[in-house]
Copies of this chain bind each other. A is one copy, B any other.
Amino acid sequence: MPSRKLSGKPEELAAFIDKFDIFLFDCDGVLWQGKALLPRTVETLAHLRNLGKHLLFVTNNSTKSRATYQKTLQDFGIPCDVNEIFCSAYSSAIYISRVLQLPRDKKVYVIGESGIEEELAAEGITYIGDDGGDITPEDYDSFGPDEDVGVVLCGLDRAISYRKLARAYQYLRNPETVFLATNIDSTFPTHGKLFPGAGAISAPLICMTGRTPVSLGKPSQAMMDAIEGVLKFDKKRACMVGDRLDTDIRFGIEGGLGGTLAVLTGVSTEEEILEEGAAAVPDVYLDRLCDILG
């Protein structure tokens, strides 16, 4: 069934909202764009809370921990609880501790930023990283497999280096070492442009090993598992709201949520939503999130 644009009629908007108890929001491109809050975001979220809806903030951003991301939301004037936030750094930590159940004597080798380290530490997972300096002649001799490394976890790392990749590769040559990615978005939008995303950072490792990492970000259902692992809710009464068809909307559809709502303030366009062979078709869409206020 093709997607349809929600009309601005109050009764239609109210009927749509009434179908759900819980709304899962992608953030960048939905609530804000880069550093700019989108119009009436705060009022829209407050309106939904006033109607008794639960709100979750589900982001593939791996550079921030939930605590740091909470501060980002609060700086935009959006009140929220840390337990309402699901970042890919958090879903990765949950996956490693609760799904993989990584033995205590094994370590995670991390390519990524501080958010990942904070979430791994919070789950009591031992991790190592690389300081990212230049590779040295001694490194060529000393780098090798390490049986203590049970997982290589790769996220967005704006200090990526040859040395970091070379170490990861040595670990991944052991087929027992699990290969995880916080998310596989090839780019990430900032300052009105696209820059290399976590998927670009793991691309060299995929190229070298021929292995495909398990992704813990949308649209991977490992992210849904992480949410359900800590929060029980009726999926049929849940709606995913996002700006990207191939991640957000697909995540909601494949997760069996009761509804999906796309907004046109981010990556995907109205043409992409309506064209045949769309990456994923949302039930409904709006120009902007605040249009749900009527």
Contact = CB atoms under 8 A, between A and B. Distances in A.
Nearest to A201: B204
15 contacts: A134-B158, A140-B193, A160-B160, A161-B161, A162-B196, A165-B200, A166-B195, A169-B194, A173-B194, A186-B207, A196-B208, A200-B204, A200-B208, A201-B204, A203-B207
A186 B200 contact: no
Residue of A158, A206, A207 ringed by the most chain B CB atoms within 10 A? A207
Interface in A245-260: none
Contact of A207 (B170, B190, B194, B200): B200
Given A141-B191, A191-B140, A166 B207 contact: no
Q: Which 5 interchain pairs have the tightest Cβ spacing? A: A200-B204, A203-B203, A203-B207, A140-B191, A158-B162
A187 interface: yes
B143 A193 contact: yes
Contact of A187 (B141, B158, B208): B208
Residue of A158, A165, A186, A200 ringed by the most chain B CB atoms within 10 A? A200
Interface string A198-240: 0111011111100000000000000000000000000000000
Contacts of A165: 160, 196, 200
Interface of A: 134-135, 140-141, 143-144, 157-162, 165-166, 169-170, 173, 186-187, 190-191, 193-197, 199-201, 203-208
A interface secondary structure, majority: mixed
B140 A169 contact: no
A181 to B, nearest CB: 12
B161 A193 contact: no
Contacts of A194: 169, 173, 208
Contact of A196 (B159, B169, B187, B191): B169
Contacts of A140: 190-191, 193, 195
A144 B191 CA distance: 11
A108 to B, nearest CB: 21
Given A157-B162, A166-B195, A193-B143, A206 B203 contact: yes
Contact of A134 (B134, B159, B196, B203): B159
Contact of A204 (B135, B169, B170, B203): B203
A119 B197 CA distance: 32
Contacts of A200: 165, 204-205, 207-208
